[in-house]
Amino acid sequence: MPAEARLQAIVHGRVQGVSFRYYTQRRARELALTGYVRNLWDGTVKVVAEGQKPALEELLAFLRVGPRGAFVTQVDTQWPVPTNEFDRFEVRY
């Protein structure tokens, strides 16, 4: 099924070195989303996910809190048109 929506998010705070990517990937897969999560050079985490809008909203709610050990201060979001370019959700390096 083609993706209904696309979420692009930059997560700020203490989000590297706390398994943020691992737990984001796990949650995204539970929600049947595709895309990726990656650490950026400035200490933030970038998430690009596609799927059904309610599932993306659930992922966004997770990103606003993060896993234990994380401290999220801000999440910048964009909702561009989905491209359906992904076949799974992965951690990128």
**Residue 26 annotated as catalytic:** no
Residue 26 phi, psi dihedral angles, 5° rounding: -60, -45
The residue from 6, 21, 88, 92 that is catalytic is 21
Classified as helix, coil or strand, 12 is strand
The residue from 14, 26, 39, 84 that is catalytic is 39
CB 86 within 8 A of CB 8: no
Give, for 28, the enclosing helix (H) or strand (E).
Answer: helix 20-30
Q: What angle do CA 76, 81, 86 make, to 5 degrees?
A: 90
**Residue 68 annotated as catalytic:** no
Active site residues: 21, 39
